[in-house]
Amino acid sequence: MKLNQKWIVSFALLLGFSYLMQWQGSVLKNSFTPLGIVHLEFAQTDDLFQKIVASWDIQTLRWNIAIDFLYIPIYTYFFQLTLSIFAHRHRSKLVQQIGLLLKNATLLAFFCDMAENTGMIISLAGMHSSIIYILTSWLAGLKFAIIGFNLIYILMSIPALFFRTKQH
């Protein structure tokens, strides 16, 4: 499969699973948790974790976490492929290196998200440990920071695709 075909497939999967996650997790959004599962990811205390879970249907939450385990490799592949494409389009070596650094950091986001989901599952199973809540929250923060930097790099690099392609 050609690179542009791989990118189209990865983008289509990203959009499809993003929609699925939003649709399936929509019932996790309420006046107490307007951001849905994101509130649970950042719950740093047992009291807050239990209050959030009590406001939801537990089966819906479990399904949302299960679907997220499928979503993680999809967004990881998309970001790695996209960052690689954009990094190689820049003329500046520094901007290329930043793109490749972010591409590699996407693997860290992958492991953070897997561990974060595992932390939520452990907490849902009844192991209420403040260290698990804190680690889950910090891992979520690191994951979102990496994804945020990836998105900024990609958005700022879009003009490079059209106007400043690297000469080979």
List of residues 6+ apart from 4 with CB closer than 8 A: none
Q: What is the pLDDT of residues 89-116, one digit of tens each?
A: 888 899 999 999 999 999 999 999 999 9
The closest alpha carbon to 61, from 48, 49, 72, belongs to 49
Mean pLDDT calculated for residue range 53-80: 97
- Record the tokens describing residue 128, joined without a space: 């209420």
pLDDT of residue 91: 85
Percent of the chain with pLDDT strictly greater than 90 = 88
Q: At what angle do helices 93-124 and 58-89 cross, to 10 degrees?
A: 170
Distance CA 18, CA 21 (A): 5
In this model, does residue 155 exceed pLDDT 70? yes
pLDDT of residue 159: 83
pLDDT of residue 121: 97
In this model, does residue 168 exceed pLDDT 50? no
CA-only gyration radius of the chain, Å: 18
pTM of the predicted model as reported, rounded to 2 decimal places: 0.90
Domain ranges of the chain: 38-57+76-163
Distance CA 23, CA 8 (A): 22
pLDDT of residue 164: 58
Q: What is the pLDDT of residues 114-149, one digit of tens each?
A: 999 999 999 999 998 999 999 999 999 999 999 999
b or e along 98-136 (b: 16 or more beta carbons within 10 Å of the residue's beta carbon)?
bbeebbebbeebbebbbbbbbbbeebeeeeeeeebbebb
- Record the tokens describing residue 150, joined without a space: 């990836």
